[in-house]
Structure 1
Amino acid sequence: MAIHWGDYMKKIWLAGPAFVLGMAGWGTAQAESVEKLAAAFGARQDITDISLAPGGALAAIVAPSGGRGDKVMIADLVKGGAPRTILNASGQGEHVSYCSWPSDAQLVCSILVQDKSTGNVLSFSRLLSLSLDGSPAKMLTQSANSRSLGVARYGGDIIDWQGGKPEEVLMLRQYIPENTIGTRLAQSGEGLGVESLNVRTLRRATVEKPNRTAAGYITDGMGNIRIMASTPAMGIGYDRNYTDYFYRLVGQHGWNPLGRVTVNPSGTYSGFRPVAVDPESNSVFGFDNKNGFSALYRQSLDGSNRREEVISKPGVDVDELIRIGRSRRVVGVSFATDYRQIEYFDPKLAALRSALSKALPGDPSVTIVDSSADESKLLMFVGSDIDPGKYYIFDKATRKLEEVLPLRTAMSGRTLSPMKSIQFRAFDGTMVPAYLTLPPGSDGKNLPAIIMPHGGPSARDEWGFDWLVQFFAARGFAVLQPNFRGSSGYGEAWFEKNGFQSWRTAVGDVTDAGDWLVSNGIAAKGKLAIFGWSYGGYAALQSGVLKPDLFKAIIAVAPVTDLQQLRNDHLNYSDYKLVDAMIGNGPHVSQGSPAQNAAKIQAPVLMFHGDWDTNVDIDQSELMQRRLLDAGKRAELVTFKGLTHSLVEGEARARMLAQSDAFLRENLGMPKE
């Protein structure tokens, strides 16, 4: 991807209470073939990660390279010009996850490495240090040696960018014990610890000794470790269903109990979950339950255990902290109702966000992504349902907003469809929230339609750009995304026992969404289909079991198809007991498994799955195909070699979209073009 910096730089000046903005709006899309449309919507986004250097003059961009690869580029926000590539990852078993800045001259990037030489997909993470002067990259993750009694699959993360000296950071390290025979220098510690590390010289020192039960540490952003998470394993190696948290007093080395967080069988949490330490108030922000909903609290770390509520919202979970700067200062909180909302604790940031939202066209969502060390320059993302989004730099001193890069250049000039928040009535009278997207220019009547349940199930759909939804809308389909019971964000009662144990309610809401489209005249008779990914694929298939005559076509991407098989797939992993509890036991396991009820499905089925998927093993789709074919049903499975759960390749996604469109048109009695 060759990006010419000058082509994208646009300026907005703050003039009084508003901004002066001169930008071209979205144009009208011209007619084009389904292959070209699928390639445009299936293309990987142009930026997968972006971060701002401490001085605010440089940005690090992780972008696609070739079909599956990634590259790291450095953009000069002052001088302009084309960004300079400093690292390439092939995408063949290696990907760049993210990059950030310990200094203006150094970059730290996290690399995901995957290997299938043993038959099973093994994943490893590694941290690299990159110098902007062109010198060779350096591995920050401690290498194994001939004495090591294992290999660390976890390569560490930077938990504090404010070390005692320039270019020093605090880094998590998974310590592996070594064979002690014939040496006094062997490493005997085991578990998770913390090192102080110079990213340029690689000088390292242990600041938190390895602990076999440690699951994580939280610093105050100023180089001090204040919180430890501990999850003791059972004797057979499985994770327990709780995590104990401990804290340190200022200047103390020992640990004091803070509290316990329990993972309930449903997958929800009980207890105060610490997230970020505030050094000014000597307290920790965290989430806990209030009347069945997640709320934000602050608990003192001075030994008094005083706790105060910071913010809660009736009927919705407060679920995300907004943090900026090198110290990751907490500046606000986020929650989703019909739209994702942000409430800033910092009044200046709140005023700035309000002014930007009013000045930019289309009433977009504005999010602060990163900042310079002194917070004088802010990296911001602006997007909406009909705008995939752009990154901007805001200079507080000059009050100038400067466009950096769009997220998806392939969407430029296209007419996209607004996403409307609606509610429909479920079988028991419950009003279920959902999002409805209609084809551009449509009157919303007598259309081919798709129900699109989300993944998870502990997730939810939100307002904003969705490449899947927009592709099908561009092809003339109405798309309804239900936040069925079992979705997160609406409190414990809405989550119920989770979307597997409470599948009748969750999938019942999904089929009721289809009935609502038909009864309201939005979906034409005989032209209703369902498309789902991951848990959404499970819901799509199980909808065909629950109400066989409703959908005329079923598309499932990387679906769970057999709950007992899902349990078995985790048997050799440490999270087995948690997955086992989430699935539960009883008649719902067989009744709620589409592969065990394939004979009930009437609609033809199309499935897609990557054979390197570690979230949902491809054996789930292979089993479903066999069961459907054995029952005399129409079923096709498209396998993508070397791709994981998200199918992160433009060509694969384009093929999936084009083939799905053809499948739907054939089975809904529609013309191909």
Structure 2
Amino acid sequence: MKNALFASTGVLLALAVPHHASAQELSAEQIAGRFGARATVLDMSLSPSGDKVAYISSDNATTEILYVVDLKGDGVPKAVTSLTDNNADLSYCDWANEASLICVAHGIVKVDGGIPATFSRAFSVGADGSKPRVLTADRSSRAYGYQQDGGTILALDVEGEENRILMTRQFLPEVTTGTRLAKEDEGLGVEEVDIDSNRRRLVERPDEEAVRYVADDNGALRLKVRRPRDSSGQLTGEVEYFYRAPDTSRWTRFSGDLEGFVPVAVDAASNVAYGFQTVDGFDALFRVALDGSNRREQVIARDDVDIDRLIRIGRQRRVVGASFATEKRQVEYLDPEMAELAAQLQAALPGKPLINIVDASADEQTLLIIASSDVDPGMSYLLERESKQLSPLLPLRDPLVDMQMAQMKPVTFPAADGTQIPGYLTIPAGRSEAGPAIVLPHGGPGSRDEWGFDWLVQFFAARGYAVLQPNFRGSTGYGDAWFGRNGFQEWRTAVGDVNDAGRWLVSEGIADPEQLGIAGWSYGGYAALQSQVLDPELYQAVVAIAPVTDLGTLVDEARDYTNFQVVKRFIGEGPHVREGSPANFADRFSAPVILFHGTEDINVRDSQSERMEDRLKAAGANVRYVQYKGLDHYLNDGRVRGNMLLEIDQFLGEHLRK
């Protein structure tokens, strides 16, 4: 690729890249395996000099592998370390300095007699695989409870020292019987840690109700988030935000006009906090002075969608803009140079993809970029700003590199009450008449679908199905009124919109009414099942992955956790709890159902699918339940996902291919 703006050096990292056949040359099993495969690049970061890249990949099962590439050397990825625990994932790694990386793993463990709980652990490792060292503080043998939070990295360079980091620490109270040495400190605090010696210095005393801290770009602690608890230790649902002025240890709460301000980052040079606050029903980006004046300035706002992401780059996580999603995600840059650069990149790369600057060298002259689109799973690039050399590095999903993808088009369709519902329509290439189709509601319900690559959508399209993803009322991103009371409390509206999506596909001549199915994951699986309660004749097949099936039980299952009251309020009380539970209305189902669930799902217990299966069988309905042992809500195993896609393909083929 050569153009007037950038010259490509063409230095694709040396990998054993196999030849990929087109979908027409592959069997259903091979197609399912490729679309179900875990991403080749799960996380990626750039060293301070810009001379090395680290990325996390996998064995396509449950092992994650950290690779390091010396871009000034042979360019060959070298495995540094790996995580083989079935119940934990290597989530991300950042460069502490040119010779060392800091990584964080997340997982699930059983505590207190079998209750599943999340945990995290932080560790450092040399870029050559040497000197692995656990950074999460040791738990005292006298401590009460299990140490779930292994620490969050707040700053990579403290006072200019590359080997010193700032990270949070969960302090546990200790048994005091028979000793005067027991520590009674409890809660989340902050320590400065020397990653070479693992020596630690307390920077912020623990706070029982603190859940997050934020450092500025100089490595100074500036923000604290607290979630108060009641007398029984349950979260109340309230959130309190505090800031610290420069050169003081006193915390000041955001209050008054800033009561609803959610700070995210602090710019040390201008002494302001960037964050979000709702204006006329939509989230907008503000900056607030941290000099005690509470002076607030609106930075970016819209009257149709929420401003929902802060764009930050480099080791200091410098704020350069914010983004929002209309028909496609857009970025509004505060930094004019970054705005010009992003526009040039989008124009230079084929297909005008989405541009994501994922990391930068210490001087921000070398950038790590990912470009992707609806028909492109993504390619990573290295950009040298001074020479304007753009070098392709690694595809994000190597098994799909030359698979043909179907275009995703933003659409709107009318709900029964006339409201226009936004969504995304993907039709298999070359199709011009009514045929098999899938309505695919998203999870959440506090979420939304966006334009871009989606492995599940593209698998369905590769197998000949048109796919419509409705952003039903109850979705986020479109303001408070659109979200309403959420898709559980107002399930009739949300699921009604989902069913209207199916009716629109038929009315537009896209779907054959005898070949119309519905599929979903998590809340999407719930909506797929509940669609039968509202209209049993609309869909001819139902696919539900990790679905909620009983709202009352969902609340009961949260009793073992501190967020019980939060979950209870989110679901609400009243007739909708029973009426909005598909397990209570199995006798209404006329379409065949297939269920999938992991046994270690902490988001939605697998008992939800078991209950649905039992009720449907008792009602004489056509149901099959596929259970995956040892996996959580996300089924992060490429072999399992491939198996699931093949099972879905066979199920849909049996009931929709007539």
Does the TM-score normalized on the shorter chain lie above 0.5? yes
Q: Is the counterpart of residue 517 in structure 1 residue 505 in structure 2?
A: yes
**One-letter code aligned to 2:133:** K
Q: Match for 1:255 among 242, 248, 251?
A: 251
Aligned equivalent of 2:597: 609
**Distance in 1 of aligned mates of 2:266 and 2:69:** 32
Offset from partner CA, 1:493-548 (integer Å, 9 cap, x none) = 11011000010000000000000011111101311000000000000000011111
**Distance in 1 of aligned mates of 2:334 and 2:455:** 33
Q: TM-score, normalised by structure 2?
A: 0.96
Q: How many residues are matched? A: 650
Q: TM-score, normalised by structure 1?
A: 0.94
Q: Is the counterpart of residue 151 in structure 1 residue 139 in structure 2?
A: no
Aligned equivalent of 1:77: 71
**Distance in 2 of aligned mates of 1:511 and 1:412:** 34
Q: Is the counterpart of residue 344 in structure 1 residue 333 in structure 2?
A: yes
Q: Match for 2:423 among 434, 455, 475?
A: 434
**Distance in 1 of aligned mates of 2:476 and 2:502:** 21
1:588-607 mapped onto 2 (5 Å cutoff): 588-607=576-595
Q: Is the counterpart of residue 55 in structure 1 residue 55 in structure 2?
A: no
- 8 Å CA contact 1:321, 1:333 repeated in 2: yes
1:393-404 mapped onto 2 (5 Å cutoff): 393-404=382-393
Q: Match for 1:362 among 351, 369, 374?
A: 351
Q: Match for 2:175 among 161, 166, 179?
A: 179
Offset from partner CA, 1:72-104 (integer Å, 9 cap, x none) = 111112223321111111142232011111111
Distance 1:41 1:23, change over 3 A: farther
Match of 1:374, SS?
coil
Aligned equivalent of 1:3: none
Q: Match for 1:532 among 515, 520, 528?
A: 520
Q: Match for 1:474 among 462, 467, 480?
A: 462
**Distance in 2 of aligned mates of 1:185 and 1:97:** 36
1:91-102 mapped onto 2 (5 Å cutoff): 91-102=85-96
Offset from partner CA, 1:199-222 (integer Å, 9 cap, x none) = 111011001011112121111121
Is the deviation greater in 57-66 or in 319-328?
A: 57-66
- 8 Å CA contact 2:210, 2:227 repeated in 1: yes
Q: Is the counterpart of residue 547 in structure 1 residue 514 in structure 2?
A: no
Distance 1:310 1:338, change over 3 A: same
Aligned equivalent of 1:321: 310
- 8 Å CA contact 1:277, 1:283 repeated in 2: yes
1:134-533 mapped onto 2 (5 Å cutoff): 134-164=129-159, 165-259=161-255, 271-443=260-432, 445-533=433-521
- 8 Å CA contact 2:502, 2:538 repeated in 1: yes
Instruction: Give the alignment's Cα RMSD to 1 decimal.
Output: 1.9
- 8 Å CA contact 1:19, 1:356 repeated in 2: no
**One-letter code aligned to 2:104:** S
Q: Is the counterpart of residue 580 in structure 1 residue 603 in structure 2?
A: no
Distance 1:288 1:304, change over 3 A: same
**One-letter code aligned to 1:219:** A
Match of 1:80, SS?
coil
- 8 Å CA contact 1:260, 1:272 repeated in 2: no
Offset from partner CA, 1:151-186 (integer Å, 9 cap, x none) = 211100111112132310110000112234455543
Offset from partner CA, 1:274-320 (integer Å, 9 cap, x none) = 00001111110110001100000111100101001001012000000
**Distance in 1 of aligned mates of 2:425 and 2:157:** 46
Q: Is the counterpart of residue 35 in structure 1 residue 29 in structure 2?
A: yes
Distance 1:634 1:404, change over 3 A: same
Distance 1:184 1:374, change over 3 A: farther
Structure 1: give runs of 5+ residues left out of the alignment. 1-11, 263-269
**Distance in 2 of aligned mates of 1:151 and 1:412:** 44
Is the deviation greater in 43-52 or in 184-193?
A: 184-193
Q: CA deviation at 1:136?
A: 3.5
**Distance in 2 of aligned mates of 1:131 and 1:615:** 34
Aligned equivalent of 1:666: 654
Q: CA deviation at 1:244?
A: 1.3
Structure 2: give runs of 5+ residues left out of the alignment. 13-19
Distance 1:21 1:171, change over 3 A: closer
Is the deviation greater in 63-72 or in 26-35?
A: 26-35
**Distance in 1 of aligned mates of 2:117 and 2:582:** 28
Q: CA deviation at 1:609?
A: 0.3
**One-letter code aligned to 1:297:** F
Is the deviation greater in 530-539 or in 54-63?
A: 54-63
Offset from partner CA, 1:444-464 (integer Å, 9 cap, x none) = x21101000000001000011
Match of 2:387, SS?
coil
Q: CA deviation at 1:133?
A: 4.4
**One-letter code aligned to 1:412:** V
Aligned equivalent of 1:558: 546
Match of 1:242, SS?
coil
Distance 1:27 1:306, change over 3 A: farther
Distance 1:56 1:305, change over 3 A: same
**One-letter code aligned to 2:137:** Q
**One-letter code aligned to 1:496:** G
**Distance in 2 of aligned mates of 1:592 and 1:121:** 26
Match of 1:654, SS?
helix
Match of 2:202, SS?
strand
- 8 Å CA contact 1:219, 1:227 repeated in 2: yes
Offset from partner CA, 1:99-122 (integer Å, 9 cap, x none) = 111111111111124334843323
Match of 2:24, SS?
coil
Match of 2:324, SS?
strand
**Distance in 1 of aligned mates of 2:256 and 2:80:** 44
**One-letter code aligned to 1:132:** A
Q: CA deviation at 1:412?
A: 1.8
- 8 Å CA contact 1:21, 1:360 repeated in 2: no
Aligned equivalent of 1:267: none
**Distance in 1 of aligned mates of 2:54 and 2:444:** 31
Offset from partner CA, 1:584-642 (integer Å, 9 cap, x none) = 11111111110011111110100000000001000000000001111111111100011
**Distance in 1 of aligned mates of 2:276 and 2:145:** 36
1:121-132 mapped onto 2 (5 Å cutoff): 121-132=116-127
**Distance in 2 of aligned mates of 1:566 and 1:197:** 40
Offset from partner CA, 1:379-426 (integer Å, 9 cap, x none) = 000010001001111011211011110001111221110001111010
Is the deviation greater in 250-259 or in 447-456?
A: 250-259
Distance 1:669 1:132, change over 3 A: closer
Distance 1:511 1:142, change over 3 A: same
**Distance in 2 of aligned mates of 1:615 and 1:400:** 44
**Distance in 1 of aligned mates of 2:244 and 2:287:** 16
**Distance in 1 of aligned mates of 2:268 and 2:9:** 39
How high is the sequence identity, in percent, across the aligned residues?
47
**Distance in 2 of aligned mates of 1:402 and 1:334:** 26
**One-letter code aligned to 1:627:** R
**One-letter code aligned to 1:166:** E
**Distance in 1 of aligned mates of 2:398 and 2:585:** 44
